[in-house]
Every structure is written in C-alpha cells, then in structure tokens.
Amino acid sequence: MPARLPVATILALSALAACCGCDGQARVEYTSLDFANIDPPAVRVSRYDMPHCYWWTDARGQLWIAMERHDASLLGSAFSTEARLVFVLERAPAGRGRNYLVGKREMRGAATFGLVDIRYIAQQGIMGVNRDSSQSDELRGSFRIQTSLSVSQMFGGWGKPSSVLMFGEFTAVRDERRGREVVERAALEPWEEQSRPTATQPVASRPSSRPAISPAPDSR
C-alpha cells in the first residue's frame, strides 16, 4: 500500500501558494480536523490567496463563484502550484446580502502542488454573500466550511479523505467568460444528478442551494 501523505504535509505545501492579485481576489485558510493527531508544537493554519475570483449567474438563475491561482515555476512542473474553488449557489442576493448553506452540492475544489493532486468536497458549512447595490459588479463574502480533502497516491488512486476546516473571504468581479474558463480548468467530477434544477421546477427561496451538475449553457 502506498504511504498516505500526512495532512500536515499537505498544509505545508499549500502554504507555499500565497500572493496578492487583481481580477477579484480571495483568501483561503484551512486547518486539520484530525482529532487523532496534532501538529506540534502549535496547530498549523495554512493560507493561500487566489488572485482571480469571478461570479456570474447562469440560465437557471444560479449564482456561480469561481476562484483560481496558478504559479508556474522555472524549475518545472514539479514545483508549480494551481488551486481552484468553485461554488454554485441558489441565486444572487436580491437585496444587500444573503447567507447560503454549503454542502457537497455547493462546492468543489482542485489543487496541484508540484506532483501532488488534491480534491476538495464541502461537507457542511456556510457562506455569506453581499453586494453594495443591485447595480454593483462586485460581490463580497466570507465562508466557513468543513471540507473533505483527498490526496492522490504516488502509484495511482486516491488516499482516504481527511477532514479540514476551510475558511476565508473573497471579492468577486462579474465575468462569466473567465469564470467558466476556471470551471473548465478545474476539471471537477460531476455533481449529484438529483441536484440538477429543472425548467419546470424552479428553485425555492430558502437558505440552502442546489447547483447544476455542470455549467448551464452560455446565457448571453
């Protein structure tokens, strides 16, 4: 059996990816929820910043938020880093703000730190989204989510998922084209079939959200 990469190592790798940016931005931090072991002498909290963060609404009225970072290395792909998080929520706030319950239907993520591939799936959490006015092209928000983190094994397959607490904040600019490109680059696995809203069954007004399996056809 290939050795499982410790969560502490994953947190250390992800801490290498930190910078500021434009085109919207997000700050993402997380720490292990492993209650069998702890990182001595202090609890490790890792941070990586996403210098690109976009939002848009699809033909079903769902709110998409996609954030991304990519750092190429002159030393080759073994030292490059990529990270992407994608949220699909019920609807954009009709007023100044709205809270959303976040589960595995609402968030997916993928990251590559050198030769290590990581996948994130939300288990349970909350996200708050705010806008200054109905005419604003920016959305601001924060989130706190218990997340399942899976790491690729050296000889193929995925290791047993670990649980981490992911939290942060973001400012997203409205840009459907670039946001959809982030989703495509993330190459996320399909989301549950029962989460797909239909044209004859509009999404009800409630705190939780039910995203589509894949981006709806371009609404422009």
Local confidence band at 36 (pLDDT 50, 70, 90 cut-offs): confident
Question: What is the rounded CA–CA span in Å between residue 107 and residue 89?
Answer: 9
Q: How many CA atoms lie within 13 A of 9 on its CB side?
A: 11
Which tokens go with 185? 């680059």
pLDDT tens track for 156-174: 777 788 999 999 999 999 9
Is pLDDT of 10 > 70? no
Local confidence band at 122 (pLDDT 50, 70, 90 cut-offs): very high
pLDDT tens track for 54-110: 999 999 999 999 999 988 767 666 677 889 999 999 988 888 899 999 998 999 999
Question: What is the rounded CA–CA span in Å between residue 4 and residue 172?
Answer: 35
Length of the chain: 220
Is pLDDT of 184 > 50? yes
Local confidence band at 41 (pLDDT 50, 70, 90 cut-offs): confident
- Lowest mean pLDDT across 7-11, 30-34, 200-204: 200-204
Q: Rounded to whole angstroms, what are the CA distances from 82 to 6, 13, 91, 109, 194?
A: 20, 11, 28, 11, 30
Alpha helix locations (H) across 92-171? none
Beta strands in the chain (DSSP E): 25-32, 46-50, 52-57, 63-71, 81-89, 97-102, 107-113, 116-130, 138-151, 162-174
Which pTM does this prediction carry? 0.74
Question: What is the rounded CA–CA span in Å between residue 149 and residue 163?
Answer: 6
Determine whether 179 is exposed, middle or buried from the number of CB atoms within 10 Å of its CB (0-12, 13-18, 19+): buried
* Secondary structure, 3-state, 172-189: EEECHHHHHHHHHHHCCC
Of 5, 6, 7, 17, the C-alpha closest to 164 is 7
Local confidence band at 144 (pLDDT 50, 70, 90 cut-offs): very high
Q: Give the whole-number percent of the chain exceeding pLDDT 70.
A: 70
H/E stretch holding 7: helix 7-14
Q: What is the pLDDT of residue 191?
A: 54
**Are the beta carbons of 158 and 182 closer than 8 angstroms?**
no
Q: How many CA atoms lie within 13 A of 185 on its CB side?
A: 17
Evaluate the CA torsion angle 173, 175, 176, 182 in order and state its sign: negative
